[in-house]
Amino acid sequence: MSERVSVPIEMVQSWRYSSGDSMERFSNGIRHKRIEAVKCGNCQRRYLPPRPVCGNCHLSLTEWVPVSDVGTLEAWTVVYLPFLDGRTGELRDGPYGMGLIRLDGSDTTLNHFLNQNDPAKLAVGMRMRIVWRDELHGAMDDILHFEEVS
């Protein structure tokens, strides 16, 4: 039997996304280490990421509330499998810690890296703090990772 034929394709592509008003205000805030959530006047839920409408109540979200850079680790893992970075297309090597952190002042959680990648040293309920990058440019990767509050 003849050899199977396949076509290899490699390409480099680029995308550009618009933020919308809510994420624009949030992004401009974190450039100054200021985190703000939007609060629903009906269900009182404080949302991160901020968005124009409460999906549960279908009401416009116009009230902004301050959020702390300290919160509680609600869920965590250590990823060992190298995973593709959706910004660069490059592989991100493991092991790295990841968590869902509920920042004080928000009712939703934020997923981000942890500076800890030893499962024995991570637990639900730990208090964590944002570690900011030195150079801030108004994007979520201005947060380098979270570290335990000592």
Partner 1 sequence: MRPVAIIGTGQTNHARCRDDVSQPELVREAASRALDDAGLQPADVDAVILSNMELFEGRALPELWVGEGAFANGKPCMKIATGGTSGTSSCIAGFHQAASGLFDIVLVVGFEKHSEGHTQTGMALTDPFWDRAVASGALGNFALSISQYMAERGVSEEQAARVAVKSRRNAARNPHAHLSDANATIEDVLNSRLLAYPIHLMDMCPQSDGAAAIVVASGDKARKLSAKPAWVKAAATRHEQPYIGDIEQRLLTMRTLRDASRSAYATAGITEPLKQLDLAEIYEPVTYAELAWYEILGFCAEGEAGHLIEAGVTGIDGELPVNPSGGVLSANPVGATGVIRVAEAAAQILGRAGAHQIEGAKTALATGYGVYAWADAVILGSAV
In the complex, the residues that contact partner 1 under the rule CB under 8 A are: 4, 6, 9, 15, 17, 19, 23, 27, 47-49, 55-56, 74-81, 83-87, 89, 92, 94, 98-100, 108-113, 119, 122-125, 139-141
Q: How far is the CB of 131 from partner 1 (least distance, A)?
A: 14
Q: In the complex with partner 1, which residue's Cβ is closer, 81 or 150? A: 81
Structure tokens at 74: 């609600």
Q: In the complex with partner 1, which residue's Cβ is closer, 124 or 149? A: 124
Q: In the complex with partner 1, which residue's Cβ is closer, 85 or 104? A: 85
Contact 3, 115 (CB under 8 A): no
Contacts of 7 (CB under 8 A, 6+ apart): none
Q: How far is the CB of 149 from partner 1 (least distance, A)?
A: 19
Task: Annotate 102-134 with b (16+ C-beta within 10 A) or e (fewer).
Answer: bbebbeebbebbbebbeeeebeeebebebeeee
Q: How far is the CB of 111 from partner 1 (least distance, A)?
A: 5
Q: CB-hemisphere CA count at 13 Å for 132? A: 14
